[in-house]
Amino acid sequence: MIISSEKYKVEFFDQPEYVANQSDQIKNILNKFLDFFDIMKLDLEISFCSEDQIRELNKKFRGKDSATNVLSFPDQELKIMSKKCIGELLICQNILEKEALEQEKRTFDHFIHLIIHSMLHIVGYGHENENDAILMETKEVEFLSKIGVKDPYK
Protein backbone atom coordinates (compact mmCIF):
# COMPACT_ATOMS: atom_id res chain seq x y z
CA MET A 1 0.00 0.00 0.00
CA ILE A 2 1.25 3.49 -0.84
CA ILE A 3 -0.14 6.66 0.71
CA SER A 4 1.05 9.86 -0.90
CA SER A 5 0.45 13.55 -1.46
CA GLU A 6 2.58 16.47 -2.62
CA LYS A 7 4.38 16.53 0.75
CA TYR A 8 4.69 12.86 1.62
CA LYS A 9 4.99 9.31 0.43
CA VAL A 10 4.65 6.34 2.76
CA GLU A 11 4.95 2.83 1.39
CA PHE A 12 3.80 -0.10 3.51
CA PHE A 13 5.01 -3.66 3.07
CA ASP A 14 3.20 -6.74 4.43
CA GLN A 15 0.81 -4.53 6.39
CA PRO A 16 -1.91 -6.15 8.49
CA GLU A 17 -5.60 -5.50 7.85
CA TYR A 18 -5.90 -2.96 10.69
CA VAL A 19 -3.47 -0.77 8.72
CA ALA A 20 -4.70 -1.46 5.19
CA ASN A 21 -8.30 -0.67 6.19
CA GLN A 22 -7.38 2.71 7.67
CA SER A 23 -5.59 4.45 4.79
CA ASP A 24 -7.82 7.55 4.95
CA GLN A 25 -7.25 7.92 8.69
CA ILE A 26 -3.49 7.43 8.20
CA LYS A 27 -3.48 10.17 5.52
CA ASN A 28 -5.22 12.52 7.93
CA ILE A 29 -2.73 11.73 10.70
CA LEU A 30 0.25 12.23 8.37
CA ASN A 31 -1.04 15.64 7.30
CA LYS A 32 -1.49 16.65 10.93
CA PHE A 33 2.00 15.35 11.80
CA LEU A 34 3.56 17.45 9.03
CA ASP A 35 1.76 20.57 10.21
CA PHE A 36 2.28 20.03 13.94
CA PHE A 37 6.02 19.35 13.68
CA ASP A 38 6.59 21.71 10.72
CA ILE A 39 7.97 18.89 8.55
CA MET A 40 8.65 19.82 4.92
CA LYS A 41 9.01 16.32 3.51
CA LEU A 42 8.12 12.82 4.62
CA ASP A 43 9.28 9.76 2.71
CA LEU A 44 9.06 6.47 4.58
CA GLU A 45 9.04 2.76 3.98
CA ILE A 46 7.23 0.84 6.72
CA SER A 47 7.67 -2.93 6.82
CA PHE A 48 6.13 -5.48 9.13
CA CYS A 49 8.31 -8.38 10.21
CA SER A 50 8.55 -11.34 12.57
CA GLU A 51 10.10 -11.45 16.03
CA ASP A 52 13.07 -13.42 14.70
CA GLN A 53 13.70 -10.86 11.96
CA ILE A 54 13.50 -7.86 14.28
CA ARG A 55 15.66 -9.60 16.92
CA GLU A 56 18.36 -10.18 14.29
CA LEU A 57 18.22 -6.55 13.12
CA ASN A 58 18.17 -5.21 16.69
CA LYS A 59 21.30 -7.24 17.46
CA LYS A 60 23.04 -6.17 14.26
CA PHE A 61 22.29 -2.44 14.47
CA ARG A 62 21.80 -1.77 18.19
CA GLY A 63 23.82 -4.56 19.80
CA LYS A 64 20.72 -5.83 21.66
CA ASP A 65 19.95 -9.54 21.34
CA SER A 66 16.22 -9.19 21.86
CA ALA A 67 13.09 -8.60 19.84
CA THR A 68 11.58 -5.11 19.98
CA ASN A 69 8.38 -3.52 18.74
CA VAL A 70 9.88 -1.11 16.19
CA LEU A 71 13.21 -0.03 14.74
CA SER A 72 13.80 3.31 12.99
CA PHE A 73 16.43 3.88 10.35
CA PRO A 74 16.80 7.52 9.31
CA ASP A 75 18.27 8.40 5.95
CA GLN A 76 22.07 8.49 6.32
CA GLU A 77 22.16 12.15 5.28
CA LEU A 78 20.06 13.19 8.28
CA LYS A 79 22.37 13.35 11.29
CA ILE A 80 20.80 16.29 13.19
CA MET A 81 17.34 17.73 13.83
CA SER A 82 15.67 17.99 10.47
CA LYS A 83 12.55 19.27 8.75
CA LYS A 84 12.63 16.06 6.71
CA CYS A 85 11.40 12.66 7.81
CA ILE A 86 13.09 10.24 5.46
CA GLY A 87 13.88 6.66 6.35
CA GLU A 88 12.62 3.20 7.09
CA LEU A 89 10.60 1.73 9.95
CA LEU A 90 10.43 -1.96 10.80
CA ILE A 91 7.55 -3.06 12.99
CA CYS A 92 7.20 -6.43 14.65
CA GLN A 93 3.51 -7.16 14.20
CA ASN A 94 3.38 -9.86 16.90
CA ILE A 95 4.95 -7.64 19.55
CA LEU A 96 2.79 -4.65 18.60
CA GLU A 97 -0.36 -6.77 18.92
CA LYS A 98 0.77 -8.38 22.23
CA GLU A 99 1.59 -4.97 23.72
CA ALA A 100 -1.76 -3.52 22.64
CA LEU A 101 -3.59 -6.44 24.27
CA GLU A 102 -1.52 -6.31 27.47
CA GLN A 103 -1.90 -2.52 27.75
CA GLU A 104 -5.61 -2.65 26.86
CA LYS A 105 -5.17 -0.35 23.86
CA ARG A 106 -6.74 -0.45 20.43
CA THR A 107 -4.23 -2.13 18.11
CA PHE A 108 -4.50 0.71 15.59
CA ASP A 109 -3.86 3.33 18.30
CA HIS A 110 -0.74 1.47 19.43
CA PHE A 111 0.39 1.22 15.81
CA ILE A 112 -0.06 4.98 15.40
CA HIS A 113 1.87 5.65 18.61
CA LEU A 114 4.79 3.52 17.41
CA ILE A 115 4.79 5.26 14.02
CA ILE A 116 4.74 8.76 15.56
CA HIS A 117 7.44 7.81 18.08
CA SER A 118 9.61 6.40 15.29
CA MET A 119 9.09 9.38 12.98
CA LEU A 120 10.19 11.67 15.82
CA HIS A 121 13.40 9.63 16.08
CA ILE A 122 13.92 10.02 12.34
CA VAL A 123 13.64 13.82 12.51
CA GLY A 124 16.12 13.93 15.40
CA TYR A 125 14.26 13.57 18.70
CA GLY A 126 15.71 11.13 21.19
CA HIS A 127 15.45 9.88 24.76
CA GLU A 128 19.05 9.05 25.60
CA ASN A 129 19.19 11.66 28.37
CA GLU A 130 16.47 12.95 30.69
CA ASN A 131 16.00 16.39 29.10
CA ASP A 132 15.69 14.94 25.59
CA ALA A 133 13.30 12.27 26.85
CA ILE A 134 11.06 14.87 28.52
CA LEU A 135 10.99 17.00 25.36
CA MET A 136 10.25 14.06 23.08
CA GLU A 137 7.57 12.55 25.30
CA THR A 138 5.86 15.92 25.84
CA LYS A 139 5.68 16.62 22.09
CA GLU A 140 4.63 13.05 21.36
CA VAL A 141 1.80 13.01 23.93
CA GLU A 142 0.60 16.47 22.86
CA PHE A 143 0.39 15.40 19.23
CA LEU A 144 -1.24 12.06 20.00
CA SER A 145 -3.93 13.83 22.04
CA LYS A 146 -4.70 16.04 19.00
CA ILE A 147 -5.43 12.94 16.91
CA GLY A 148 -7.48 11.16 19.58
CA VAL A 149 -4.88 8.71 20.89
CA LYS A 150 -4.63 8.49 24.69
CA ASP A 151 -1.33 9.14 26.48
CA PRO A 152 0.57 5.89 25.85
CA TYR A 153 2.73 6.40 28.94
CA LYS A 154 -0.13 6.28 31.47
Q: With contact defined as beta carbons under 8 Å apart, do 71 and 58 qualify?
A: yes
Domain boundaries 2-146, corresponding CATH code: 3.40.390.30
pLDDT band at 80; cut points 50, 70, 90? low
pTM for this predicted structure? 0.90
What percentage of the chain has pLDDT greater than the value 70?
96
Cα separation of 95 and 49, whole Å? 10
The predicted structure's pLDDT at residue 154: 82
Residue type (1 letter), 44: L
Query: Residue 79 has what pLDDT?
Result: 59
Domain map (residue ranges) of the chain:
2-146
The C-alpha angle 72, 31, 27, rounded to 5 degrees, equals 80
Asked if the model's pLDDT at residue 76 lies above 90, the reply is no
Tell which phi-psi region holds residue 74, choosing left (phi > 0), alpha (psi between -120 and 50) or beta.
beta
